[in-house]
Structure 1
Amino acid sequence: MPSNKSVSDAPITQFVNCRILKDHKLQWEDLWVREGKILNPEKLFFDEEGFADHKVDCADKIIAPGFIDVQINGGYGIDFSQASSDIRGGVALLAKKILEHGVTSFCPTLVTSPPDIYHKVIPELKVQDGGPEGAGVLGIHLEGPFISEEKRGAHPPKFLRTFKAGGVADLMETYGHLDNVAMVTLAPELANSVAAIRELSGRGIAVSLGHSMADLSQAEAAVQHGATFITHLFNAMLPFHHRDPGIVGLLTSDRVPPGRTVYYGMIADGIHTHPAALRIAHRAHPAGLVLVTDAVTAMGLPPGRHTLGQQQIDIQGLHAYVAGTTTLSGSIATMDMCVRHFREASGCTVEAALEAASLHPAQLLGISHRKGTLEYGADADFVVLDDTLTLRETYIAGQQVWRK
């Protein structure tokens, strides 16, 4: 409760009997929240002489930062790469549904599309805070169309593009504008890609390498010019070879500029990546692993035929394929499922599994001072889980937004 020395009259909530993920460890510690932020209890006691208005007993459960999904194409019938009549309504529906999977912030992802789709959809996908109505939007992830034809995966070949002029002219002609864009996936071996990488990273937009035939030296050059992420490692890139490990070699490269971390996305759905490959990546570069769902329209829906951008996809069991082929087309996994599978398949600690879905994506996007952490002053976006990492509750800005 605020005292006469308090800096705020807002109510204070104290979460007790919980293990909170802090400094890379689960610690028996209370979590204090006021005005949507995590509070330093020492300052509260000694500077303000205040105490809690409400106590929440967590019954020995785990509190971890809310999950952040930087690659999600849609779900529950919503496809971000379709210019529907109600694009914002679609985002709102998905944002609400993913709260039950612990996602408190996300990057709506558009796959390779014709320019008119980008021009219609991008202005509608606004950056916004999360709350009871749904997870927050951190910015758009544009996956394509500047990617390799050989490694296009489920992306439609007729809409792929190359950098003709190089840099900003190609980007603007294709996308219309870059407001609200958080990340762009491109193939660094494309001619004139360096100018685009510099332009994007200069604007604070994360550049990711993916759907690419790049060798290691091309990938290293891209990182030296500002690229910081690898889109769904191992998938849609040259396979690891001992004489030229390709993009995968960035995990242990000595050409990464000092002080920089290369992050990499992993779809830990039990389908896209063999458990042994998952373990190799994690053991080689644990600090860079970012769990992504790469979820498509059909996440949360029954098997059958659905869309992904301009393509038809078939859902068979847990597999999503381009219709009539055996080409994988995103996943129907949820983030909480990926966290559990990653923990099980990699044999990593509970802390490492949780940070791969929270701290690491926040660091990748340059927002780890406020998201992906339970440090004092950060946004009070967090999840409550049991020891099996089954989600029990989701909170945004200190407010419960979902409960099992």
Structure 2
Amino acid sequence: MLYGNILTLDGWRLGELSWQNGCITRLDGELCDPDANDHLRILPGFIDLHVHGGGGADTMEGGQALETLARTHARFGTTGLLATTMTAPDAEIRRVLDAIDTYMQAPPADAARVLGVHLEGPYINPGKLGAQPAHARPGMIGEIDELLRLAPIRLMTLAPELSGHLELIRHLTGRGVRVQLGHTLGSYEEGVAALEHGACGFTHLFNAMTGLHHRKPGMVGAALAHADYAELIPDLLHVHPGAIRAALRCIPHLYAVTDSTAAAGMPDGDYRLGEQTVTKCLGGVRLADGTLAGSTLTMDQALRNLVSIGLSLDEASRRLSRYPADFLGLTDRGRLVPGAFADVVVLDTDLNLQAVYVEGRRIEGDHHVTDAR
């Protein structure tokens, strides 16, 4: 049982949160203003739909690396995530998908839940790789159906302007896969057409896509004008706070991701990102030529960053928990309600982590809780 300021679907309540067998059983309390007391802030666990690595481990390694990254991100408040792949040769992608599926059959209890796969590439534009390796190519429906049999691909990033991709978007949507547009040189019109064919989001908004110009609105323009959902990296390095605020005014369910690499939770140095080596220094991760290559962001810092640019704590929380859960169609995560999993983040008044629970199990770390009962 936890006592404190609990963020519920209808606002803050000062009271008790209880769970049993991994699920919330009771939530009691009176509506309150959390700034009027010094009790803990109790939020839904964070859900990160774009995770390449953490704790020195990279998704593309498979096996033990998946456990390492899931444990690492749980220490920073992430209770559910999508293991995110890199553009790679077909055999490499198949190997990793098989490894992720195997891992998901018997996950460790003391780690963030891997909810599925975010396939980022190889179906992207070779002219907008960003930090992706040079294995980009158009996708074929038959080939992708084979990949869908290997692991639960929940989300796919692709460039809509590549040949056959509008038909591919419609097919993937029919198979229950969420499609985001990214790593693209597509025009505004191509972005709108993709949304009309079933695409429903944008990958790391503003980054690795055609920008906004008043006579050539580009993919960013399509997102700002038409998107209901889009992901964004709020490390305050990938996107200027002013651009974040503009996106918040335009996209109702803009949600945060880390796009984290193996360097997340680790000291400065060299790390793996797919087949490439990246360097962590000065708070970022870059290729040898200086290109930003994912991030070192963790979700607890993403929360603090959003609050620092003017979001209320409850709004910032929604963009780290409820909105990504809704995007995947999950009703039992991303919110504190009876019957949902007891995925819980506990913060002090300075928004420092005090405890993390995944399906009711306390994640070990440097956290301490004073309002537990």
Q: TM-score with structure 2 length normalisation?
A: 0.90
Distance apart, 1:23 and its partner CA: 2.0
1:306 to 250, 271, 274: 271
Do residues 148 (structure 1) and 125 (structure 2) align? yes
In the aligned structure 2, how far is the partner of 1:234 from the partner of 1:24? Answer: 32
| 8 A Cα contact 2:74 2:363, kept in partner | yes
Identity %, equivalent residues? 36
Amino acid at match of 1:352: E
> How big is each residue's C-alpha offset from its partner over 1:174-229, in whole Å with a ceiling of 9 and x where there is no partner?
x4745321111000111100221122221211111100112222112212222112
Amino acid at match of 1:374: L
Task: Tell me the equivalent position of 2:191.
Answer: 219
2:337 to 372, 375, 390: 375
Task: Tell me the equivalent position of 1:356.
Answer: 319
Go from structure 1 to structure 2 and tell me whether the alpha carbon gap of 1:388 and 1:277 turns closer, same or farther (over 3 Å shift). same
Amino acid at match of 2:70: A
Task: Tell me the equivalent position of 2:351.
Answer: 389
In the aligned structure 1, how far is the partner of 2:246 from the partner of 2:82? Answer: 27
Task: Tell me the equivalent position of 1:402.
Answer: 364
| 8 A Cα contact 2:230 2:253, kept in partner | yes
User: How big is the alpha-carbon RMSD for the aligned residues of Structure 1 and Structure 2?
Assistant: 2.1
Do residues 32 (structure 1) and 8 (structure 2) align? no
Task: Tell me the equivalent position of 1:48.
Answer: none
| 8 A Cα contact 1:75 1:299, kept in partner | yes
In the aligned structure 2, how far is the partner of 1:383 from the partner of 1:34? Answer: 17
Do residues 61 (structure 1) and 40 (structure 2) align? yes
In the aligned structure 1, how far is the partner of 2:253 from the partner of 2:175? Answer: 22
Gapped runs of 5+ residues in structure 1?
1-13, 43-57
| 8 A Cα contact 2:284 2:296, kept in partner | yes
Any residues of structure 2 matched to 1:72-111 within 5 Å, and which?
Answer: 72-82=51-61, 87-111=62-86
Distance apart, 1:27 and its partner CA: 2.2
In the aligned structure 1, how far is the partner of 2:265 from the partner of 2:49? Answer: 18
Amino acid at match of 2:125: S
Go from structure 1 to structure 2 and tell me whether the alpha carbon gap of 1:312 and 1:392 turns closer, same or farther (over 3 Å shift). same
SS at match of 1:81: helix
Go from structure 1 to structure 2 and tell me whether the alpha carbon gap of 1:179 and 1:245 turns closer, same or farther (over 3 Å shift). same
Task: Tell me the equivalent position of 2:136.
Answer: 160
SS at match of 2:60: coil
Gapped runs of 5+ residues in structure 2?
29-36, 368-373
Distance apart, 1:110 and its partner CA: 0.6
2:2 to 12, 15, 20: 15
Go from structure 1 to structure 2 and tell me whether the alpha carbon gap of 1:385 and 1:130 turns closer, same or farther (over 3 Å shift). farther
> How big is each residue's C-alpha offset from its partner over 1:97-148, in whole Å with a ceiling of 9 and x where there is no partner?
2121001111111110111111111011024687642110100111011111
In the aligned structure 2, how far is the partner of 1:187 from the partner of 1:128? Answer: 31
In the aligned structure 1, how far is the partner of 2:223 from the partner of 2:276? Answer: 32
1:133 to 93, 110, 135: 110
In the aligned structure 2, how far is the partner of 1:154 from the partner of 1:41? Answer: 44
> How big is each residue's C-alpha offset from its partner over 1:3-42, in whole Å with a ceiling of 9 and x where there is no partner?
xxxxxxxxxxx422x1111126222232232222222468
Go from structure 1 to structure 2 and tell me whether the alpha carbon gap of 1:398 and 1:186 turns closer, same or farther (over 3 Å shift). same
Do residues 365 (structure 1) and 338 (structure 2) align? no
Task: Tell me the equivalent position of 2:242.
Answer: 276
| Structure index of larger Rg | 1
Task: Tell me the equivalent position of 1:124.
Answer: 99
Task: Tell me the equivalent position of 1:5.
Answer: none
In the aligned structure 2, how far is the partner of 1:24 from the partner of 1:239? Answer: 37
In the aligned structure 2, how far is the partner of 1:72 from the partner of 1:139? Answer: 11
Do residues 169 (structure 1) and 145 (structure 2) align? no
Task: Tell me the equivalent position of 2:34.
Answer: none
Amino acid at match of 2:2: F
In the aligned structure 2, how far is the partner of 1:130 from the partner of 1:392? Answer: 24
In the aligned structure 1, how far is the partner of 2:38 from the partner of 2:317? Answer: 19
In the aligned structure 2, how far is the partner of 1:206 from the partner of 1:294? Answer: 17
SS at match of 2:13: strand
In the aligned structure 2, how far is the partner of 1:340 from the partner of 1:24? Answer: 22
| 8 A Cα contact 2:231 2:254, kept in partner | yes
**Count of residue pairs the alignment pairs up:** 356
SS at match of 2:170: helix
SS at match of 1:402: coil
SS at match of 1:125: helix
Amino acid at match of 1:171: I
SS at match of 1:33: strand
Task: Tell me the equivalent position of 2:87.
Answer: 112
Following TM superposition, the consecutive aligned residue runs of length 4 or more in structure 1 with deviations greater than 4 angstroms are 128-131
Q: TM-score with structure 1 length normalisation?
A: 0.83
